[in-house]
Amino acid sequence: MSLTPNKTKAIWLVRAGKYGEQEQLALENNIVTIGWNKLGNISDLQNKEELIELFELTYPNEKPKAIINKASQVWRFKNEIEIGDLVVLPLKQEPVIAVGKIISKYKFIDNLGTVIRHARTVEWITKDMPRNNLNQDLLYSLGAFMTVCRIQRNDAETRIPAAIQSFLDKASSSSNITLRKTGEETIDDKIETVDLETLGKDQIRSFISQQFAGHRLQDLVAAIFEVEGYATVVSPPGKDGGVDILAGKGMLGLEEPRICVQVKATSTPSGIDVVNSLLGVVASHGASYGLIVSMGGFTQDARKKAREQFFKVRLWDSNDLINATLRNYTKLSDEIQASLPLKQVWMLVDEDE
């Protein structure tokens, strides 16, 4: 299918828990969901005023403005998202975005444990589009702390489908969605508070993709290993025999653990074939473990295979690489720091976010 933006369908951001605690259930059961489960079944509520009254009774300690804001999001999820609209779910546990098409009205469910009550059924188009497939201004829109909001700024209703289609084309996939665009965004849709940590990582991810493109990404990964106390050998450009970095403890790198590292700088997810290949390399080199570093993340079958080979292989997506870089940044070489200039900033955390 093709994502053709004929301006008839909308794009919505819908999150699955503050910490992504509902993500896997949502993906596995083909739904999008929100919190506020204590509200119970809201199917019969006729207007937003009734929902606000229910919010006040259910969450009496909430501030009036917070109640209006949160009730508006729930109402939007129940009534304003239309069948056929596009929904994006930025995952918290992986640096990827799931995209789906709404195919049902609101429903109250009680068969998926205690964490999911409010749901809309979706047809997932992709569950693993890397965040760096979207430009920074679009990622900013997806950085809202709101659980539900419509994405319209910066020509998002044209550019997001185009980015998704480009990703699907690269992955030899297809989908069929059309989009709605009507009028100006409402006050409720204006994004005033954003997740600065996520946006910061998005900027670092984009910068690493540019400054450490291709073979140079191996140098960054090797530098991190060296700071962690490993001796490394980096394969020269060209055919590498399935391994980009050999790392081992001790002065000569001969002590345990001995690790074979495969580095993928491309923006597409690495699949199960990459995991199987590395497992073969680990065995042939007599190594202890294998590590795959992939800026484009991993497909679901690759992650499943890695879980099955828990004691033999590990996967680093771009978030893992960023975290390892930040953890060791002050000890990295002047050359690496010059190529990736970072400054630590502290700020207060809003406990209501």
Assign residue 55 the CATH number of its domain.
Answer: 3.10.590.10
Query: Hunting for tokens 């596009």 — which residue is that?
Result: 86
Q: Are residues 76 and 165 in the same domain?
A: yes
Q: Are residues 32 and 91 in the same domain?
A: yes
Give me the domain span that covers residue 312.
Answer: 211-339
Q: Are residues 72 and 181 in the same domain?
A: yes
* CATH code of residue 316: 3.40.1350.10
Q: Are residues 184 and 232 in the same domain?
A: no
CA distance 70 to 76: 10
**Residue-wise pLDDT tens for the chain (353 aa)?**
556 554 558 999 999 887 788 899 999 999 999 999 999 999 999 999 999 999 999 999 999 999 999 999 999 999 999 999 999 999 988 889 999 999 999 999 988 878 899 999 999 999 989 998 898 888 888 887 789 999 988 889 899 999 999 888 877 644 455 555 544 444 444 445 667 788 888 889 999 998 999 889 999 999 999 999 999 999 988 776 789 999 999 988 999 999 999 999 988 899 999 999 999 999 999 999 999 999 999 998 999 999 999 999 999 999 999 999 999 999 999 999 999 999 888 877 665 54
Its pTM surpasses 0.85: no
Is position 96 within any domain? yes
Closest CA to 95 of 55, 128, 142, 56: 128
Closest CA to 175 of 138, 123, 133: 123
Is position 298 within any domain? yes
The pLDDT of residue 153 is 87
The pLDDT of residue 187 is 40
The pLDDT of residue 353 is 47
Q: Are residues 243 and 283 in the same domain?
A: yes
Q: Are residues 252 and 138 in the same domain?
A: no
The pLDDT of residue 174 is 42
Domain boundary among 194, 222, 240: 194
Domain boundary among 167, 194, 221: 194
Q: Are residues 144 and 52 in the same domain?
A: yes
Q: Are residues 45 and 164 in the same domain?
A: yes
Q: Are residues 324 and 228 in the same domain?
A: yes
Q: Distances from the Cα of 123 to the Cαs of 23, 31, 127, 146, in angstroms? A: 15, 8, 10, 23
Q: Distances from the Cα of 141 to the Cαs of 21, 128, 189, in angstroms? A: 22, 19, 10
The pLDDT of residue 300 is 87
Extended strands (E) in the chain: 3-4, 11-14, 31-34, 86-90, 96-102, 107-108, 118-130, 148-150, 177-178, 230-234, 245-249, 255-264, 289-294, 313-316
Q: Are residues 247 and 302 in the same domain?
A: yes
CA distance 58 to 324: 42
Is position 311 within any domain? yes
Q: What would the two tokens of residue 125 be? A: 């188009």
Q: Distances from the Cα of 187 to the Cαs of 86, 154, 192, in angstroms? A: 21, 16, 10
Domain boundary among 169, 194, 219: 194
Is position 126 within any domain? yes
Measured from the Cβ of residue 233, the count of other Cβ atoms closer than 10 Å reads 12
Q: Are residues 170 and 273 in the same domain?
A: no
CA distance 37 to 254: 54
Is position 79 within any domain? yes
Is position 353 within any domain? no
Is position 346 within any domain? no
Is position 206 within any domain? no
The pLDDT of residue 8 is 54
Amino acid at 45: L
Q: Are residues 104 and 180 in the same domain?
A: yes
> For the chain, how many structural domains are there in total?
2
